[in-house]
Amino acid sequence: MTDPASWLLEHGENVQYGLFFGLLPLLLVVERILPFRRLPGDAARLRTNAALTLLAVLSLGIVPVSFIGAAMWADARGVGLLNLAALPPGVVIVATLLLRGGLSTLTHWLNHRVPLLWRLHRVHHLDTELDVSSTVRFHPLEMPVNALIGVPLVVALGLSPWVLVIYEFLDVAVTLFSHSNLQVPAKLDRWLRYVLVTPNLHRVHHSSFRPETDSNYGAVFPIWDVVFGTFRSETREPQEAMELGLEDVRGPAAQRLLGLLVSPLYRDLSRLDRRSAGGTEAPT
């Protein structure tokens, strides 16, 4: 009989994709029944988000090793912090979940702070609205680059492979939920946002007001934002009406697929905006 850990490692990827492609259409329907913000009907935006989602998922195929593969390699050789001692299973589970959440928070923070990484990551933030279609609206190079940053840290920390699979399940469910345009009851959100990243908490991160953009980096757990002082639940303007996206590029230019794919070549996105409008601005 296969033990649960082995089953997770063998079938985890299929379950992860099943969760994603099952929850995505469900939340697309539910957020239209119980919306937090009234979103304009913008077919071009949805098409672009769908195309970027597909390209981002396909881009994972060019990564030579996954976090789970790296953790299995470290586990087999007794390499990494958590593999140095025989820790109780409960400690391993909690430590792996928290450290993996910390790794995600750190990578996200670097994406905002390192200029070259920001050029890739800002494609996600150029979306001028936020709903579940925004979840994997990433430049196709962002996920492979993040993997290159994270894989050595997974090995160094000695994270448990099968617990990482559980984290990936949580990551799929929570990130779809946190990007959705769902109306979450205020009483529930007030305590839930300290346990899991909620739509109201993550929407702060998508504000066009830079101090709000540079907050709430956690994808699943907000604990590291609380610890390092980047947790922010209040906004300058009411969330129902605040401007989302980036001030650099607004309107149709923020939704043009080709423009978004070449946008990392531009330091100044206003040049890309002018080029989209018919100019001849060269990358810089």
Q: Minimum mean pLDDT among 152-161, 164-173, 265-274: which range?
A: 265-274
- Alpha-carbon distance 86 to 80, whole Å? 12
User: Which whole number is the average pLDDT over 166-174?
Assistant: 97
Which pLDDT score, from 0 to 100, does residue 274 have?
Answer: 60
- Segment 158-173 shows an average pLDDT of 97
By 3-state DSSP, what share of the chain in percent is helix, strand and coil, each rounded to 5? 65, 0, 35
Q: What local confidence, expressed as pLDDT, does residue 40 receive?
A: 76
Which residue has better confidence, 5 or 202? 202
pTM of the model: 0.92
Given a cut of 50, whether residue 280 has pLDDT beyond it is no
Instruction: Reply yes or no on whether the pLDDT at 121 is more than 90.
Output: yes
Decide if pLDDT at 281 tops 70: no
Residue 279 has a pLDDT of 46
Share of the chain above pLDDT 70, in %: 94
pLDDT mean across residues, the chain:
91
pLDDT beyond 60 at 277: no
Phi, psi at residue 147, to the nearest 5°? -65, -40
CB 32 within 8 A of CB 115: no
| Whether 145 contacts 132, CB under 8 Å | no
Name 250's Cβ contacts closer than 8 Å, sequence gap at least 6.
Answer: 128
Instruction: Give the model's pLDDT for residue 75.
Output: 95
Calculate the CA 107 to chain-centre distance. Answer: 10
> Residue 276 — pLDDT band, cuts 50, 70, 90?
low
pLDDT of residue 1: 52
| % of residues, the chain, pLDDT over 90 | 79
> Does residue 189 contact residue 198 with C-beta atoms inside 8 Å?
yes
Show the tokens assigned to 284.
């810089």
Confidence tier at 61 by pLDDT (50, 70, 90):
confident
Radius of gyration over every alpha carbon of the chain, rounded to an integer in angstroms: 19
DSSP letters for 120-175:
HHHHHHT-SS-SGGGTT---TTHHHHHHHHHHHHHHHHT--HHHHHHHHHHHHHHH
The full DSSP string for 177-222 is HHHS-B---HHHHHHHTTTS--HHHHHHHTBSSHHHHTS---SS--
CA–CA separation, 204 and 47 (whole Å): 24
Does the pLDDT at position 183 exceed 70?
A: yes
Angle subtended by helix axes 89-113 and 115-125, to nearest 10: 100
Band of residue 173 on the pLDDT scale cut at 50, 70, 90: very high
- The whole-number pLDDT of residue 47 equals 93
DSSP state of 239: T
**Mean pLDDT in residue range 37-43:** 81
Q: Which of 114, 106, 89 minimizes the C-alpha distance to 221?
A: 106
Average pLDDT over every residue of 168-174 = 97
Task: Name the residue with tokens 């007001």.
Answer: 209
Instruction: Give dist(CA 241, CA 237) in Å, integer.
Output: 7
Give me the count of residues in the chain: 284
Q: What is the pLDDT of residues 63-92, one digit of tens each?
A: 878 999 999 999 999 999 999 988 999 999
